Amino acid sequence: MERSGIRAVVSRGWGALRADSSDRLHVVDQVPHSWLFPRVSAVVHHGGSGTTAAGLRADKPTLVCPVLGDQPFWGRRIHELGVGPRPLPLRSATADTLTARILDLVTSASFAHRAREIGAAIRAEDGPGAAIAALESIQAAHRTYRRVG
């Protein structure tokens, strides 16, 4: 963060990251994404589906630094949606590449604009309602099938 000149909150998380707080860096053990993300300018994370969803729901431009599993997929998806720069795999990240991507992330008006659009669309969804409607449709089809068969 020193190189970028911006302030950051870093969560040690499950990876037990070794870092100390400074004037520009606030290190925490854990913090709820639903509380933190609405209060920051952008999010940088591993790209897990839950963290990705929380960042998008909070209207935040996002940089994904994938490690494994589905994380590279979510990093590519974030970039394809125009919400953030190309993902930066953690294993290949350097101080210079991370600084460049973070500066791009926080200064790009297009990333912020797309994040607001996608966040609004996510918040407008009624996921539980859609799931209930799908289950009711399956149940109704099953009842019809049992009567006919």
Summarised one tens digit per residue, pLDDT across range 113-136 is 999 999 999 999 998 999 999 999
The enclosing H or E element of 33 equals helix 33-36
Is it the case that residue 66 has pLDDT exceeding 80? yes
Interatomic CA distance for residues 33 and 58, integer angstroms: 9
Phi, psi of 27 (to 5 degrees): -100, 130
pTM: 0.80
Interatomic CA distance for residues 19 and 24, integer angstroms: 12
Q: Provide the 8-state DSSP code for 87.
A: P
**Residue 44: beta bridge partners?**
63
Q: What is the CA radius of gyration of the chain?
A: 19
Other residues' Cβ atoms within 10 Å of the Cβ of residue 101: 21
Q: How many residues does the chain have?
A: 149
Is it the case that residue 78 has pLDDT exceeding 70? yes
Residue 28 CB contacts under 8 Å (≥ 6 apart), including other chains: 9, 10, 11, 12
Interatomic CA distance for residues 61 and 31, integer angstroms: 19
- Residue 25: which pLDDT band, with cuts at 50, 70 and 90? confident
